Amino acid sequence: MAFFHIVVCGGLVPDPLQTLEPVSGPAGWSLKNESLLPSILDPWAANALYEADALAKANPGSKVWLASAAPKVKLQQVLMALAQKAPFELLPVDAPAGGFTDAVECALALAGAVQSIEGLDRSRLLLFGGWESASRGAGATLSVLGEKLGLTEQFQGVDKLTVDGDGSLEILERVEGGKHQVSVLSSPPAVLGWATGGRAEPPNNPQIGMANMRALMPSLQKARAAKLPGDGLTLKSVSLPRQKRNTQVVKDMPVEQIAVEIVEWIKKKP
């Protein structure tokens, strides 16, 4: 069985349970109390990490790296749980995180981190990440990063990856219209932007975590800083998806009439 060198790219996003309120200041857009909000690894990137872990386990000799551009202190807290999920090496870039950074600048910073990996076999490289994110969801960082690294085989919205007996990769990818496309790639390298994948979040395992942390903490201390100033990027307006609530309390309505109302409501939907 062939091995893979899998680099998972993932940023941090605020815990989705928190109140997210975009505010504009002298330094541009940010979230209210952004630095105080607890963070998690972007859920799409997390799916990619769990897929990478499963792939590495199924293919002995494989190795997983996690490349993350995020504030170092936030990353450290996230690692306390994340490092227990799967074995990986960390490629930290001490940079701002969130929905207001420029995807190109972020991709460049990550490209530097990936290129710095000693012993990386680019012919076996699989660049994993989320096909979008829980921050702004530009969906561009991974594609740009792939281009910068010269990886032209790119798949977005991946739901499943199967390694065939001859070492080729069969990729189930989401396409327009709610359909899937199956592609076969003879061999790496490639970029895979994961959708949900098919893996449940692994339970925490402190023993994996402690083994991971021996290497993760020194890596974190040596994280290279990247400013990501956002030159040339202007966000004209920022808003959260609006919540709409049209609850009616109606008593004693006959079932038939309820059905009629539902049908009318469905018809109104665009």
Partner 1 sequence: MTQPSTASKAVLQTLPGDEIRQILWRYQDRFDYQMLVQSSRSVARGPVARLVAQGARNSHEWTEAKHSLLKVYDESGITGAFLDPAYGGLFEGPKNLIMSLVAFELAWVDGGAATASLAGNLGLAPIHECGTPEQVARYMKMASPAKPGENRKTMRAAFALTEPLPYVGVETGLLCGKARVAEWKDGQEPLLEIDKRGRFITNMDYATVVTAAVDTDDKRIKSSCMVILEEGDPGLFDRGTATKKLVHQLSSTRDPNFQLKVPASRIVGGYTVKEGVIVPNYTHSEVIEAVFKRTRVTVGLMTAAKLLSAVEPIIRYQRQRFRGGTAATPGTPRYDLGIQTKEDALHRLVDVWAMGEAGASLGFATTRLYDELDPLEREKNRILDERGVQGARARMKEMAKVERQAMEYLIMTRMPQGRRNPSMFEALKNDPLVQFSVFEPVANVLCPATKLWNTGQGANSLREAVSLMGGYGITEDCPGFLGHKWMDAQLEATYEGPEAVQRRQLSITMAQPLFLEQFKHWIMDLKTLAADHPETGACGLGTAMQMWLWTLSHLQESVDATGHKLFSSNRQGVTFPMADALCWLLASRQQILDVLELEQKGASNPSLAETLPGTLAFLTDLCQVQAARAAGEVSRICAELVFGYNRHPRWDSEGCQSCFNEADLEGLETYVPGIGSVAYGYSDVLDMDDNHPLKRGPCANISGMEPFLSLRAKLDGCLTGCRLAKDRAAESLTRVMIPEALDYPQ
| Residue reference for tokens 């590495």 | 56
Cα Rg, the chain, nearest whole Å: 21
Of 85, 84, 88, 44, whose CA–CA distance to 62 is shortest?
A: 88
Q: Which of residues 19-58 bind partner 1 (CB under 8 A)?
A: 19, 32-33, 35-38
Q: What angle do CA 214, 218, 224 make, to 5 degrees?
A: 145
Indicate left, alpha or beta for 188 from its phi (over 0: left) and psi (-120 to 50: alpha): beta
3-class DSSP assignment, residue 82: helix
- Element (DSSP H or E) covering residue 26: none
What is the per-residue binding string for partner 1 in 120-139, x denoting contact by CB under 8 A? --------------------
Distance of CA 63 to the CA centre of its chain: 18
73 binds partner 1 (CB under 8 A): yes
Q: Which of residues 245-264 bind partner 1 (CB under 8 A)?
A: 247
Cis preceding-peptide flag for 241 (omega within 30 of 0) = no
Point out which span in 16-24, 117-125, 156-164, 172-180 binds partner 1 (CB under 8 A).
16-24
Point out which span in 1-9, 73-81, 138-146, 149-157 binds partner 1 (CB under 8 A).
73-81
77 binds partner 1 (CB under 8 A): yes
For partner 1, which is the closer residue by CB, 13 or 107? 13
Of 135, 140, 89, 144, whose CA–CA distance to 111 is shortest?
A: 144
For partner 1, which is the closer residue by CB, 16 or 165? 16
Contact pick of 23, 27, 58, 80 for partner 1 (by CB under 8 A): 80
User: Minimal distance in Å, beta carbon 118 to partner 1?
Assistant: 25
Point out which span in 51-59, 72-80, 103-111, 130-138 binds partner 1 (CB under 8 A).
72-80
Point out which span in 12-20, 62-70, 113-121, 233-241 binds partner 1 (CB under 8 A).
12-20
For partner 1, which is the closer residue by CB, 2 or 208? 208
- Looking at residue 241, the DSSP 8-state letter turns out to be P
First to last CA, the chain: 49
- 132 Cβ contact partners less than 8 Å away, ≥ 6 residues apart: 44, 138, 139, 193
Rounded to whole angstroms, the Cα distance separating 195 from 158 reads: 5
Contact pick of 17, 225, 255, 266 for partner 1 (by CB under 8 A): 17
For partner 1, which is the closer residue by CB, 71 or 188? 71
User: Minimal distance in Å, beta carbon 68 to partner 1?
Assistant: 16
207 binds partner 1 (CB under 8 A): yes
Please say whether the beta carbons of 95 and 70 come within 8 A: yes
210 binds partner 1 (CB under 8 A): yes
Positions touching partner 1 (CB under 8 A) are 15, 17-19, 32-33, 35-38, 71, 73-74, 77, 80-81, 83-84, 203-207, 209-210, 213, 217, 247
